Amino acid sequence: MQCPFCQTQNDNSLSACADCGSPLSAPSRPHAAPAAPVAPAQAPATAPQSGWQSVTPAAQPAVAQAPWGTSQTAAPQVSPTAPQAQSPANTTSQAPPNTVVVVEHNGREVLKVPVMRATVTIGRADVDDQGQPFFPDIDLTDADPNLASSRRHARLVLEHGQAFLEDLGSSNGTFVEQLGRLTAQQRQPLPQGVRAMFGRGGPVIHWRSR
């Protein structure tokens, strides 16, 4: 049986992954069925196909549309203009509206945390190195009876409708579903609904926009 987090092959008699400790009995998330192929419609010879479809060698020399909707001649002098990327300046101070992080333990939802800021810290409430109380933005304490997660375990960044997860050098690692253990100090995409586990057999989170 393959672990959904670290992809390790385990004996079918095991209930938890021998490598990362993730439960093996939980049913995998259903994936959307691939779309059925659509037979090409009989179009007039003068009507070119969409710019995203390949043109066969037998196609007539009519001008086909480029992907961005601009005409493309046999010897284009001007490249099609692609959409300009939005500048990240002053756009990442707040998370997308109605964003929540769901925290689970052993497959059971423990709490939901509304996320207002674009960058939040994930970990356990504790005392910092100066002896002062430390409270992360997303506190895993109630979902981590085995103390698998670290005080400052990871950072979650939400920007432009996407999320990125970064392990901050935790003791027991951060595991992302279908990806495995993250390399510390390197941001990795965390798509909506994909789960991340903090420490071997530790608490699990995923995010969504309500």
pLDDT for 157-182, tens place per residue?
998 889 999 999 999 999 999 999 99
- Tens digits of per-residue pLDDT, 190-206? 999 999 999 999 999 99
CATH of 99-209, one of 3.90.245.10, 3.10.450.630, 2.60.200.20, 3.30.1490.20: 2.60.200.20
| DSSP per-residue string spanning 56-110 | -TTS-SPPPBPTTS-B--SS-SSPPPPPPPPP-TTTSSBPPTTEEEEEEETTEEE
| Residue 132 Rama label (left phi>0; alpha psi -120 to 50; beta) | beta
Q: Where are the beta strands (DSSP E) in the chain?
A: 99-105, 108-114, 119-123, 126-127, 133-134, 138-139, 154-159, 162-167, 174-176, 180-181, 188-189, 196-198, 204-209
Stated length of the chain? 210
CA end-to-end span of the chain: 33
What is the predicted pLDDT for the residue at 32? 45
**pLDDT band at 36; cut points 50, 70, 90:** low
What's the confidence (pLDDT) of residue 50?
42
Burial state string for 166-201 with b = 16 or more CB within 10 A and e = fewer than 16: bbbebebbbbbbebbbbeeeeeeebeeebbbbbbbb
- The residue ranking higher by pLDDT, 67 or 137, is 137
| pLDDT for 80 | 47
Q: Read off the pLDDT of each residue in 89-110 and give the average, rounded to a whole number.
A: 81
| Residue 152 scores a pLDDT above 90 | yes
Instruction: Give the β-pairing of 188-189 and 196-198.
Output: unpaired
Neighbours of 58 (CB within 10 A): 5
The whole-chain average pLDDT of the chain stands at 76
pLDDT confidence of residue 25: 66
Note the pLDDT of residue 67: 42
Is the full-model pTM beyond 0.95?
no
- Please state the domain extents for the chain: 99-209
